[in-house]
Structure 1
Amino acid sequence: MMFLCNSTLGEVVWTQVKFKMNAYLGTLVSLIVVQILGLMLSINGTSSMSTNFNNTDFQFVWITADTVIIFVSIWALFLGNVITTKGYRNTNFSFVTNGISNNLSNIIVLIIMSVFAGITTFLSHYILRIVVPFFNDVGYVRSGSIIDDPLSSITSMGLMVSLILMISAGGYLWGTLVYIHRAYMFLLIVLIIALPATKTGQMILRFIFADNMSLFVLNVKFVCLAIIFFVLAMLCSNRLEVRR
């Protein structure tokens, strides 16, 4: 007796998401490693200023999590790219799947990991606040807290998530194009280098990063760019249905 079981697109995607989250667990470990490395490099501060008042020397040190953000951004680009490599693509043939379900599951995985990376990267600032006194001769540490301005903190956290998602989406598009043909790698590198060097490229970068009335607007721009990158990657990957 034979039975025919028809799975819906949602069920197939969800099955792939669970499998890929387990398969890509090592990338979360690498995220923690790069965050710890960024924290270690940030302990001594990014800038300082000294002054004297009533024969008492004061030294002010500004400590930010910018190094952590840079490292995590590189990690996000690597994450989006590595999912498109041949080894990871071949794991899809363990499932009854197609290009749409494969792309949707990849996008959901990138969203989940970007949310985790964004939240932990945002909280790394508060970890620095706790760790710095143990490694430096610091008498007083002052920084804003989530309680002081919860709305601004939530917006900043969302901005961090959307930034990492946009970068990972760009890496996903890059990896898809390179998988189609190696020549795209060099074309994309030239494009990235030429973008800030041309007037049109500078206008685009200024529109995205500079011309913003609020963090919310910048957040929306990052999310829109991530959607554009994902859609382009899905359109380009339509020709990758056959295993090669």
Structure 2
Amino acid sequence: MTELLYRSDAYLRETEAKVLAAGPEGVVLDRSNFYVQAGGQPGDTGILRWDGGEMVVANTVKGEAGPLHVPAEGASLPPVGASVTIVLDWDRRHRLMRMHTAMHLLCSLIPGAGVTGGQIGLERSRLDFDLAEPPAKEWLSEQLTALAAADHAVTDRWITDAELDENPSLVRTLSVKPPRGSGQVRLVRIGAEENPVDLQPCGGTHVRRTGEIGPVTVTKLENKGKQNRRVYLVLEG
């Protein structure tokens, strides 16, 4: 099993690892700080470096033997058993972290509506809500920017599958269910423990404080069905 270091430290930009397997489909490591594509968040990119070579990582995806660090076209593969330095494309990751946390803030502004879909992007992200009529985009932009500027702490903790079953209202997503099977589920909290701005299961990476997000603008609202409203947002900087 690959140790997923980003779960305990989303700010780890570089680390050492050992190559367990390598092929054209990707490289499996014993540990990694690269996020594995899932839940609407893209997989991380960066570089693997070893004595005598390096490989550009074009994506990180799920594989049968563990996360696959997908090589860019024409890239050399590290030898099995080699020690490698994993260098994360930090600027890209941090922007995705800002986006992802902003999307949690958006959920907090539309309480009670299930999330039917979503996609985190570098330039623009979207969330789909099971909702008859969303708030005005100007109001959403104003509230999102204010929540970000309030510099709320973003923390996480783990609960058991049974605890989640006892609190089904924690799950906002209708199309993507929290990952189960390990016996525990990660909860991401924005704000104070006693009165959080947002609290929901999530396996993605987030900023430590909402002040890192910066101004947020909702650029477009779309009607994608009888009860499906799509909200697009962008970040400054």
TM range (shorter): under 0.3
Say which structure is richer in helix. 1
TM-score when normalising by structure 2: 0.25
Greater gyration radius: 1
